[in-house]
Amino acid sequence: MDYMTAGESHGPQLTGILTGVPAGLHLDIDAINQALAARQGGYGRGSRQKIEHDTVQIVGGVRHSITMGGPIALVIQNRDHGHWGEIMSPTAEETPENTLRQVTRPRPGHADLVGGQKYGHHDMRNVLERSSARETAMRVAVGAICKQLLQAVGITIVGYVDQVGSVKGPVVSPLNVAEIEAAITQNDMRMLDDQQVDRIHLLIDETRHAGNTLGGVVRVVANGVPAGLGSYTAWNQKLDAKIAAAVVGVNAIKGVEIGDGFEAAQNLGSEVMDQIDWHEGQGYSRLSDHLGGFEGGMTNGMPIVVRGALKPIPTLYQPLQSVDIHTHEVSKANVERSDTTAIVPASIVVESAVSFELAKVLCDTFDDANLARMQKQVADYRSEFDAF
Ligand SMILES: Cc1cc2nc3c(=O)[nH]c(=O)nc-3n(C[C@H](O)[C@H](O)[C@H](O)COP(=O)(O)O)c2cc1C
Ligand SMILES: C=C(O[C@@H]1CC(C(=O)O)=C[C@@H](OP(=O)(O)O)[C@H]1O)C(=O)O
Protein backbone atom coordinates (compact mmCIF):
# COMPACT_ATOMS: atom_id res chain seq x y z
CA MET A 1 0.00 0.00 0.00
CA ASP A 2 1.23 3.47 -0.83
CA TYR A 3 -0.12 6.83 -1.91
CA MET A 4 0.92 9.93 -3.75
CA THR A 5 -0.66 13.33 -4.10
CA ALA A 6 -0.24 16.07 -6.70
CA GLY A 7 -1.59 19.58 -7.01
CA GLU A 8 -1.06 23.16 -5.88
CA SER A 9 -3.08 25.11 -3.35
CA HIS A 10 -4.63 27.45 -5.94
CA GLY A 11 -4.27 25.14 -8.93
CA PRO A 12 -7.25 23.42 -10.53
CA GLN A 13 -7.44 20.38 -8.24
CA LEU A 14 -5.74 17.98 -5.87
CA THR A 15 -5.13 14.50 -7.23
CA GLY A 16 -4.37 11.38 -5.20
CA ILE A 17 -3.57 7.77 -6.00
CA LEU A 18 -3.81 5.12 -3.28
CA THR A 19 -2.48 1.69 -4.18
CA GLY A 20 -2.76 -1.67 -2.41
CA VAL A 21 -6.28 -1.50 -0.96
CA PRO A 22 -7.72 -5.05 -0.97
CA ALA A 23 -10.60 -5.82 -3.31
CA GLY A 24 -14.04 -6.06 -1.73
CA LEU A 25 -14.02 -3.04 0.60
CA HIS A 26 -17.38 -1.27 0.41
CA LEU A 27 -16.53 2.44 0.53
CA ASP A 28 -18.76 4.84 2.42
CA ILE A 29 -18.26 7.97 0.29
CA ASP A 30 -20.28 10.10 2.73
CA ALA A 31 -17.83 9.18 5.49
CA ILE A 32 -14.91 10.37 3.32
CA ASN A 33 -16.72 13.66 2.70
CA GLN A 34 -17.51 14.03 6.41
CA ALA A 35 -13.80 13.70 7.19
CA LEU A 36 -13.06 16.36 4.54
CA ALA A 37 -15.66 18.67 6.08
CA ALA A 38 -14.21 18.10 9.55
CA ARG A 39 -10.74 19.05 8.23
CA GLN A 40 -12.18 22.34 6.99
CA GLY A 41 -13.66 23.14 10.37
CA GLY A 42 -12.55 24.47 13.72
CA TYR A 43 -12.40 27.95 15.14
CA GLY A 44 -9.45 30.01 13.93
CA ARG A 45 -9.50 29.02 10.27
CA GLY A 46 -9.00 31.71 7.61
CA SER A 47 -11.50 32.79 4.97
CA ARG A 48 -10.30 30.21 2.39
CA GLN A 49 -12.55 27.66 4.03
CA LYS A 50 -15.61 29.75 3.17
CA ILE A 51 -14.72 29.32 -0.50
CA GLU A 52 -13.91 25.61 -0.49
CA HIS A 53 -16.46 22.83 -0.14
CA ASP A 54 -14.25 19.77 -0.24
CA THR A 55 -15.83 16.64 -1.66
CA VAL A 56 -14.05 13.68 -3.16
CA GLN A 57 -14.52 12.40 -6.66
CA ILE A 58 -13.43 8.79 -7.15
CA VAL A 59 -12.18 8.30 -10.69
CA GLY A 60 -10.50 4.89 -10.59
CA GLY A 61 -10.22 1.59 -8.73
CA VAL A 62 -13.78 1.47 -7.44
CA ARG A 63 -16.98 0.11 -9.03
CA HIS A 64 -20.43 0.44 -7.46
CA SER A 65 -18.66 1.78 -4.32
CA ILE A 66 -16.61 -1.43 -3.94
CA THR A 67 -12.82 -1.49 -4.33
CA MET A 68 -11.50 -3.74 -7.07
CA GLY A 69 -7.89 -4.12 -5.90
CA GLY A 70 -6.34 -1.67 -8.38
CA PRO A 71 -5.04 1.85 -7.67
CA ILE A 72 -7.75 4.15 -6.33
CA ALA A 73 -7.68 7.56 -8.03
CA LEU A 74 -9.15 10.56 -6.22
CA VAL A 75 -9.83 14.18 -7.10
CA ILE A 76 -10.73 17.18 -4.92
CA GLN A 77 -11.46 20.46 -6.68
CA ASN A 78 -9.93 23.75 -5.55
CA ARG A 79 -12.88 26.10 -5.89
CA ASP A 80 -10.57 29.04 -5.20
CA HIS A 81 -8.78 28.30 -8.48
CA GLY A 82 -11.60 30.19 -10.20
CA HIS A 83 -10.37 33.40 -8.51
CA TRP A 84 -6.80 32.98 -9.70
CA GLY A 85 -7.45 33.14 -13.42
CA GLU A 86 -4.34 32.52 -15.45
CA ILE A 87 -2.00 33.16 -12.52
CA MET A 88 -2.26 29.53 -11.47
CA SER A 89 -2.91 28.01 -14.88
CA PRO A 90 -0.71 24.96 -15.54
CA THR A 91 -0.47 25.95 -19.22
CA ALA A 92 -1.27 29.65 -19.88
CA GLU A 93 1.59 32.10 -20.48
CA GLU A 94 2.81 34.32 -17.65
CA THR A 95 0.80 37.56 -17.29
CA PRO A 96 1.64 41.02 -15.82
CA GLU A 97 -0.93 40.21 -13.12
CA ASN A 98 1.25 37.29 -12.15
CA THR A 99 4.16 39.63 -11.41
CA LEU A 100 1.94 41.55 -8.97
CA ARG A 101 1.21 38.37 -7.02
CA GLN A 102 4.85 37.32 -6.77
CA VAL A 103 6.17 36.32 -3.37
CA THR A 104 9.63 37.85 -2.89
CA ARG A 105 9.80 38.39 0.90
CA PRO A 106 9.93 34.88 2.37
CA ARG A 107 7.90 34.17 5.50
CA PRO A 108 10.01 32.92 8.41
CA GLY A 109 8.90 29.42 9.37
CA HIS A 110 7.39 28.65 5.96
CA ALA A 111 9.12 26.75 3.15
CA ASP A 112 9.49 29.93 1.03
CA LEU A 113 13.18 30.86 1.29
CA VAL A 114 14.87 27.47 1.36
CA GLY A 115 12.39 26.11 -1.19
CA GLY A 116 13.23 29.05 -3.49
CA GLN A 117 16.98 28.53 -3.05
CA LYS A 118 16.75 24.77 -3.59
CA TYR A 119 14.46 24.73 -6.64
CA GLY A 120 15.65 28.07 -8.08
CA HIS A 121 12.28 29.84 -7.78
CA HIS A 122 12.63 33.62 -7.64
CA ASP A 123 8.87 33.89 -7.30
CA MET A 124 8.35 31.88 -4.13
CA ARG A 125 4.69 31.39 -5.01
CA ASN A 126 6.07 28.33 -6.82
CA VAL A 127 7.15 27.05 -3.39
CA LEU A 128 4.20 28.02 -1.25
CA GLU A 129 1.67 26.58 -3.67
CA ARG A 130 2.92 23.06 -3.06
CA SER A 131 4.17 23.45 0.53
CA SER A 132 0.71 24.72 1.54
CA ALA A 133 -1.29 22.46 3.79
CA ARG A 134 -4.06 22.55 1.19
CA GLU A 135 -2.52 19.22 0.13
CA THR A 136 -3.62 17.69 3.45
CA ALA A 137 -7.20 17.59 2.11
CA MET A 138 -6.09 14.72 -0.13
CA ARG A 139 -4.23 13.05 2.73
CA VAL A 140 -7.52 13.07 4.65
CA ALA A 141 -9.43 11.50 1.74
CA VAL A 142 -6.76 8.76 1.57
CA GLY A 143 -6.81 8.38 5.36
CA ALA A 144 -10.60 8.08 5.37
CA ILE A 145 -10.39 5.11 2.98
CA CYS A 146 -7.69 3.54 5.16
CA LYS A 147 -9.89 4.10 8.20
CA GLN A 148 -12.66 2.12 6.52
CA LEU A 149 -10.24 -0.75 5.90
CA LEU A 150 -9.26 -0.61 9.58
CA GLN A 151 -12.92 -0.71 10.61
CA ALA A 152 -13.43 -3.79 8.45
CA VAL A 153 -10.95 -5.68 10.69
CA GLY A 154 -12.21 -4.25 13.99
CA ILE A 155 -9.91 -1.24 14.45
CA THR A 156 -11.32 2.18 15.34
CA ILE A 157 -9.36 5.44 15.42
CA VAL A 158 -9.98 9.05 16.35
CA GLY A 159 -7.95 12.28 16.40
CA TYR A 160 -8.75 15.27 18.57
CA VAL A 161 -7.34 18.44 20.10
CA ASP A 162 -5.48 18.15 23.39
CA GLN A 163 -4.06 21.67 23.69
CA VAL A 164 -4.37 25.07 21.99
CA GLY A 165 -1.52 27.45 22.71
CA SER A 166 -0.88 26.99 26.43
CA VAL A 167 -4.47 25.91 27.23
CA LYS A 168 -4.41 22.18 27.95
CA GLY A 169 -7.11 19.53 27.90
CA PRO A 170 -7.77 17.18 30.83
CA VAL A 171 -4.73 15.60 32.52
CA VAL A 172 -6.16 12.11 32.06
CA SER A 173 -7.72 11.43 28.66
CA PRO A 174 -9.84 8.35 27.85
CA LEU A 175 -8.37 5.46 25.87
CA ASN A 176 -11.72 4.49 24.39
CA VAL A 177 -12.39 5.73 20.85
CA ALA A 178 -16.22 5.67 21.18
CA GLU A 179 -16.05 7.65 24.43
CA ILE A 180 -13.70 10.21 22.88
CA GLU A 181 -15.92 10.56 19.79
CA ALA A 182 -18.98 11.18 21.95
CA ALA A 183 -17.17 13.94 23.87
CA ILE A 184 -15.48 15.78 21.00
CA THR A 185 -18.65 16.19 18.94
CA GLN A 186 -19.96 18.49 21.71
CA ASN A 187 -17.90 21.46 20.50
CA ASP A 188 -16.23 22.99 17.44
CA MET A 189 -12.69 22.49 18.77
CA ARG A 190 -12.74 18.66 18.85
CA MET A 191 -11.80 18.91 22.53
CA LEU A 192 -12.76 16.57 25.34
CA ASP A 193 -13.31 19.35 27.81
CA ASP A 194 -15.96 21.64 26.31
CA GLN A 195 -15.76 23.90 29.38
CA GLN A 196 -12.52 25.27 27.98
CA VAL A 197 -13.81 25.97 24.51
CA ASP A 198 -15.07 29.51 25.28
CA ARG A 199 -11.67 30.30 26.74
CA ILE A 200 -9.98 28.98 23.63
CA HIS A 201 -12.25 30.97 21.29
CA LEU A 202 -11.28 34.10 23.21
CA LEU A 203 -7.60 33.22 23.00
CA ILE A 204 -7.87 32.69 19.23
CA ASP A 205 -9.77 35.99 18.78
CA GLU A 206 -7.21 37.95 20.81
CA THR A 207 -4.35 36.33 18.92
CA ARG A 208 -5.92 37.07 15.52
CA HIS A 209 -6.55 40.73 16.46
CA ALA A 210 -2.90 41.02 17.44
CA GLY A 211 -1.89 39.69 13.99
CA ASN A 212 -0.39 36.62 15.64
CA THR A 213 -0.92 32.84 15.45
CA LEU A 214 -1.20 29.74 17.65
CA GLY A 215 -0.21 26.09 17.64
CA GLY A 216 -1.18 23.24 19.95
CA VAL A 217 -1.16 19.52 20.54
CA VAL A 218 -3.29 16.81 18.92
CA ARG A 219 -3.83 13.26 20.14
CA VAL A 220 -4.79 10.14 18.19
CA VAL A 221 -6.11 6.96 19.82
CA ALA A 222 -6.67 3.63 18.04
CA ASN A 223 -8.52 0.68 19.58
CA GLY A 224 -8.69 -2.97 18.55
CA VAL A 225 -5.25 -3.05 16.91
CA PRO A 226 -3.97 -6.64 16.91
CA ALA A 227 -0.71 -7.25 18.80
CA GLY A 228 2.46 -7.93 16.84
CA LEU A 229 2.18 -5.42 13.96
CA GLY A 230 5.62 -4.05 13.13
CA SER A 231 8.82 -5.79 14.22
CA TYR A 232 11.68 -5.47 16.71
CA THR A 233 14.01 -7.30 14.31
CA ALA A 234 15.17 -4.28 12.29
CA TRP A 235 15.13 -0.51 12.84
CA ASN A 236 13.15 0.08 9.69
CA GLN A 237 10.43 -2.41 10.62
CA LYS A 238 9.47 -0.64 13.85
CA LEU A 239 5.90 0.54 13.48
CA ASP A 240 6.14 3.24 16.15
CA ALA A 241 9.00 4.78 14.17
CA LYS A 242 6.97 4.72 10.94
CA ILE A 243 4.03 6.35 12.69
CA ALA A 244 6.32 9.01 14.17
CA ALA A 245 7.66 9.82 10.68
CA ALA A 246 4.14 10.02 9.24
CA VAL A 247 3.02 12.37 12.02
CA VAL A 248 6.02 14.70 11.65
CA GLY A 249 5.34 14.57 7.91
CA VAL A 250 2.21 16.64 8.53
CA ASN A 251 2.77 20.36 7.88
CA ALA A 252 3.81 22.30 11.00
CA ILE A 253 4.07 19.24 13.27
CA LYS A 254 7.34 19.59 15.16
CA GLY A 255 7.07 17.00 17.94
CA VAL A 256 5.68 13.50 18.34
CA GLU A 257 5.08 11.35 21.40
CA ILE A 258 4.06 7.71 21.72
CA GLY A 259 2.16 7.09 24.96
CA ASP A 260 3.60 9.12 27.85
CA GLY A 261 6.43 10.18 25.53
CA PHE A 262 8.62 12.92 27.00
CA GLU A 263 6.92 12.64 30.38
CA ALA A 264 8.03 9.00 30.67
CA ALA A 265 11.64 10.20 30.61
CA GLN A 266 11.22 11.88 33.99
CA ASN A 267 9.35 9.02 35.71
CA LEU A 268 10.61 5.84 37.40
CA GLY A 269 10.52 2.53 35.55
CA SER A 270 7.83 1.22 37.91
CA GLU A 271 5.61 4.16 36.89
CA VAL A 272 6.06 3.62 33.18
CA MET A 273 6.06 -0.13 32.39
CA ASP A 274 2.62 -1.58 31.70
CA GLN A 275 2.25 -4.72 33.82
CA ILE A 276 1.09 -7.87 32.05
CA ASP A 277 -2.20 -9.65 32.72
CA TRP A 278 -4.11 -12.60 31.19
CA HIS A 279 -7.77 -13.59 31.29
CA GLU A 280 -9.50 -16.71 29.98
CA GLY A 281 -11.28 -15.89 26.73
CA GLN A 282 -9.59 -12.46 26.45
CA GLY A 283 -5.93 -13.38 26.35
CA TYR A 284 -3.19 -10.93 27.32
CA SER A 285 -3.58 -7.30 28.30
CA ARG A 286 -1.70 -4.64 30.28
CA LEU A 287 -2.76 -2.98 33.54
CA SER A 288 -1.99 0.47 32.09
CA ASP A 289 -1.01 2.02 28.73
CA HIS A 290 1.89 4.37 29.47
CA LEU A 291 3.76 3.06 26.44
CA GLY A 292 0.91 3.94 24.08
CA GLY A 293 0.40 0.43 22.72
CA PHE A 294 3.99 -0.26 21.60
CA GLU A 295 6.78 -2.54 22.85
CA GLY A 296 9.78 -3.31 20.68
CA GLY A 297 8.38 -1.37 17.75
CA MET A 298 5.39 -3.75 17.74
CA THR A 299 1.80 -3.14 18.73
CA ASN A 300 1.01 -4.92 22.01
CA GLY A 301 -2.79 -4.98 21.68
CA MET A 302 -3.37 -1.99 23.96
CA PRO A 303 -4.79 1.26 22.57
CA ILE A 304 -2.31 3.14 20.40
CA VAL A 305 -1.81 6.68 21.71
CA VAL A 306 0.13 9.21 19.63
CA ARG A 307 0.45 12.95 20.17
CA GLY A 308 1.72 15.58 17.77
CA ALA A 309 2.84 19.14 18.54
CA LEU A 310 1.81 21.75 15.96
CA LYS A 311 3.90 24.90 15.83
CA PRO A 312 2.05 28.22 15.43
CA ILE A 313 1.06 29.13 11.86
CA PRO A 314 4.08 30.84 10.22
CA THR A 315 2.22 33.54 8.24
CA LEU A 316 1.72 36.51 10.55
CA TYR A 317 -0.57 39.45 9.74
CA GLN A 318 1.94 41.48 11.81
CA PRO A 319 4.85 40.14 9.77
CA LEU A 320 8.32 39.45 11.12
CA GLN A 321 11.63 40.48 9.58
CA SER A 322 12.57 39.06 6.21
CA VAL A 323 14.76 39.99 3.26
CA ASP A 324 13.49 40.79 -0.24
CA ILE A 325 15.21 38.23 -2.46
CA HIS A 326 15.24 40.62 -5.45
CA THR A 327 16.84 43.61 -3.63
CA HIS A 328 18.37 41.90 -0.57
CA GLU A 329 16.88 44.71 1.52
CA VAL A 330 15.63 43.89 4.98
CA SER A 331 11.84 44.22 4.97
CA LYS A 332 8.71 42.69 6.49
CA ALA A 333 7.74 39.22 5.30
CA ASN A 334 4.97 38.73 2.73
CA VAL A 335 1.49 38.33 4.15
CA GLU A 336 -0.71 35.70 2.56
CA ARG A 337 -4.31 34.99 3.60
CA SER A 338 -3.95 32.61 6.50
CA ASP A 339 -5.35 30.63 9.40
CA THR A 340 -4.83 31.89 12.97
CA THR A 341 -4.57 28.30 14.08
CA ALA A 342 -5.07 25.00 12.28
CA ILE A 343 -5.22 22.76 15.31
CA VAL A 344 -8.62 21.21 14.50
CA PRO A 345 -7.69 20.30 10.90
CA ALA A 346 -4.33 19.06 12.17
CA SER A 347 -6.12 16.59 14.45
CA ILE A 348 -7.92 15.11 11.42
CA VAL A 349 -4.79 15.10 9.27
CA VAL A 350 -2.71 13.36 11.96
CA GLU A 351 -5.51 10.82 12.44
CA SER A 352 -5.36 10.22 8.67
CA ALA A 353 -1.57 9.83 8.72
CA VAL A 354 -1.78 7.21 11.49
CA SER A 355 -4.71 5.47 9.71
CA PHE A 356 -2.58 5.10 6.60
CA GLU A 357 0.36 3.59 8.52
CA LEU A 358 -1.93 1.11 10.31
CA ALA A 359 -3.68 0.14 7.07
CA LYS A 360 -0.30 -0.28 5.38
CA VAL A 361 1.08 -2.56 8.07
CA LEU A 362 -2.10 -4.67 7.86
CA CYS A 363 -1.61 -5.01 4.10
CA ASP A 364 2.06 -5.89 4.65
CA THR A 365 1.24 -8.50 7.32
CA PHE A 366 -1.86 -10.16 5.86
CA ASP A 367 -3.21 -10.99 2.41
CA ASP A 368 -3.85 -7.64 0.74
CA ALA A 369 -5.59 -8.85 -2.43
CA ASN A 370 -8.98 -9.70 -1.00
CA LEU A 371 -10.71 -8.22 2.04
CA ALA A 372 -12.63 -11.35 3.12
CA ARG A 373 -9.36 -13.32 3.15
CA MET A 374 -7.64 -10.56 5.10
CA GLN A 375 -10.47 -10.54 7.65
CA LYS A 376 -10.21 -14.31 8.11
CA GLN A 377 -6.45 -14.14 8.55
CA VAL A 378 -6.71 -11.32 11.10
CA ALA A 379 -9.30 -13.28 13.11
CA ASP A 380 -7.09 -16.42 13.14
CA TYR A 381 -4.06 -14.36 14.09
CA ARG A 382 -5.90 -12.70 16.98
CA SER A 383 -7.01 -16.15 18.29
CA GLU A 384 -3.48 -17.50 18.09
CA PHE A 385 -2.09 -14.55 20.07
CA ASP A 386 -4.81 -14.86 22.74
CA ALA A 387 -4.06 -18.56 23.24
CA PHE A 388 -0.27 -18.10 23.43
C1 LIG B 1 -4.25 22.11 8.29
C2 LIG B 1 -3.12 23.09 8.24
C3 LIG B 1 -3.37 24.39 7.83
C4 LIG B 1 -2.33 25.31 7.76
N5 LIG B 1 -2.62 26.60 7.40
C6 LIG B 1 -1.59 27.49 7.30
C7 LIG B 1 -1.86 28.85 6.93
O8 LIG B 1 -3.01 29.24 6.74
N9 LIG B 1 -0.80 29.68 6.81
C10 LIG B 1 0.48 29.27 7.05
O11 LIG B 1 1.38 30.06 6.95
N12 LIG B 1 0.75 28.01 7.41
C13 LIG B 1 -0.25 27.11 7.53
N14 LIG B 1 0.03 25.83 7.92
C15 LIG B 1 1.42 25.44 8.18
C16 LIG B 1 2.30 25.41 6.94
O17 LIG B 1 1.72 24.62 5.92
C18 LIG B 1 3.68 24.84 7.30
O19 LIG B 1 4.17 25.47 8.45
C20 LIG B 1 4.66 25.06 6.14
O21 LIG B 1 4.30 24.23 5.05
C22 LIG B 1 6.12 24.77 6.50
O23 LIG B 1 6.29 23.44 6.85
P24 LIG B 1 6.77 22.99 8.32
O25 LIG B 1 6.07 23.87 9.31
O26 LIG B 1 6.33 21.56 8.43
O27 LIG B 1 8.26 23.18 8.40
C28 LIG B 1 -1.01 24.91 8.07
C29 LIG B 1 -0.75 23.59 8.49
C30 LIG B 1 -1.81 22.69 8.61
C31 LIG B 1 -1.54 21.29 9.08
C1 LIG C 1 -6.22 25.88 1.78
C2 LIG C 1 -6.04 25.34 2.95
O3 LIG C 1 -5.14 25.77 3.88
C4 LIG C 1 -4.21 26.76 3.50
C5 LIG C 1 -2.89 26.31 4.07
C6 LIG C 1 -1.89 27.38 3.97
C7 LIG C 1 -0.48 27.01 4.20
O8 LIG C 1 0.39 27.87 3.99
O9 LIG C 1 -0.21 25.88 4.62
C10 LIG C 1 -2.24 28.69 3.70
C11 LIG C 1 -3.63 29.13 3.49
O12 LIG C 1 -3.89 29.23 2.10
P13 LIG C 1 -4.70 30.44 1.43
O14 LIG C 1 -3.74 31.57 1.35
O15 LIG C 1 -5.16 29.95 0.11
O16 LIG C 1 -5.87 30.75 2.33
C17 LIG C 1 -4.61 28.12 4.05
O18 LIG C 1 -5.92 28.44 3.73
C19 LIG C 1 -6.79 24.16 3.39
O20 LIG C 1 -6.47 23.65 4.50
O21 LIG C 1 -7.71 23.72 2.66
Assess whether the C-beta atom of 136 lies below 6 angstroms from ligand 1: yes
Expressed in angstroms and rounded, the spacing between residue 342 Cα and the centre of ligand 1 is 8
pLDDT of residue 96: 80
Expressed in angstroms and rounded, the spacing between residue 187 Cα and the centre of ligand 2 is 23
Does the annotation list 67 as a binding residue?
no
Task: Read off the pLDDT of each residue in 162-181 and give the average, rounded to a whole number.
Answer: 95
Supply the residue whose CA is at minimum distance from atom 25 of ligand 1.
252
pLDDT of residue 97: 78
Task: Read off the pLDDT of each residue in 120-129 and give the average, rounded to a whole number.
Answer: 97
Q: Which domain holds residue 279?
A: 2-387
At residue 236 the predicted structure's pLDDT band, cuts being 50, 70 and 90, is: very high
Expressed in angstroms and rounded, the spacing between residue 103 Cα and the centre of ligand 1 is 16
pLDDT of residue 353: 98
| Tens digit of each residue's pLDDT (9 = 90 or more) over 17-52 | 999 999 999 999 999 999 999 999 999 999 999 999
Ligand 2: which residues within 6 Å by Cβ?
9, 46, 48, 52, 132-134, 137, 251, 336-339, 345
| Tens digit of each residue's pLDDT (9 = 90 or more) over 281-315 | 889 999 999 999 999 999 999 999 999 999 999 99
| Tens digit of each residue's pLDDT (9 = 90 or more) over 341-368 | 999 999 999 999 999 999 999 999 999 9
Number of structural domains the chain divides into? 1
Q: Model pTM?
A: 0.98
99 pLDDT above the threshold of 90 = no
CATH code, 242 = 3.60.150.10
Which H, E and C letters describe the chain, residue by residue? CEEEEECCCCCCEEEEEEECCCECCECCHHHHHHHHHHHHCCCCCCCHHHHCCCCEEEEECEECCEECCCCEEEEEECHHHHHCHHHHCCCCCCCHHHHHCCCCCCCCCCCHHHHHHHHCCCCCHHHHHHHCHHHHHHHHHHHHHHHHHHHHCCCEEEEEEEEECCEECCCCCCCCHHHHHHHHCCCCCCECCHHHHHHHHHHHHHHHHCCCCCCEEEEEEEECCCCCCCCCCCHHHCHHHHHHHHHHCCCCEEEEEECCHHHHCCCCHHHHCCCEEEECCCEEEECCCCCCCEECCEECCCCEEEEEEECCCCCCCCCCEEECCCCCCEEECCCCCCCCCCHHHHHHHHHHHHHHHHHHHHHHHCCCCEHHHHHHHHHHHHHHHHHC
Nearest ligand for residue 36 CA: 2
Does the annotation list 219 as a binding residue?
no
